[in-house]
């Protein structure tokens, strides 16, 4: 799966999870940049990403996700 495809699908997930607080995703986007991105919303986001891409993150992958770009790279790696 190409990065552009991942970003497009991930944007749909962000729009669904964050609704009115959603914004265009970019590699350097973090939880601090999005109003309402708290620990509960983070769990919801991870679940929605896993469901949307039909993948499952490992704990070590989750621990490496400091920015959205990290999430994108991990998602891409699951399709190579």
> What is the pTM for the complete model shown?
0.94
What integer pLDDT is reported at residue 75 of this predicted model?
Answer: 98
The full set of domains in the chain, from first to last, is 3-77 (1.10.1200.10)
Q: What is the mean pLDDT of residues 42-57?
A: 98
The 10s digit of each residue's pLDDT in 58-80 is 999 999 999 999 999 999 999 98
- DSSP output for 13-56: HHHHHHGGG-----TT--GGGSTT--HHHHHHHHHHHHHHHT--
Percent with pLDDT over 70 in the chain: 100
The 10s digit of each residue's pLDDT in 13-26 is 999 999 998 899 99
């Amino acid at each position: 799966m190409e990065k552009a495809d991942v970003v497009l699908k991930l944007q749909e997930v962000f729009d669904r999870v964050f609704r009115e607080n959603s914004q265009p995703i970019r590699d350097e986007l973090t939880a601090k940049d999005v109003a309402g991105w708290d620990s509960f919303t983070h769990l919801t986001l991870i679940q929605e990403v896993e469901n949307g891409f039909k993948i499952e993150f490992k704990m070590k992958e989750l621990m490496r996700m400091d920015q959205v770009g990290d999430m994108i790279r991990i998602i891409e790696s699951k399709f190579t």
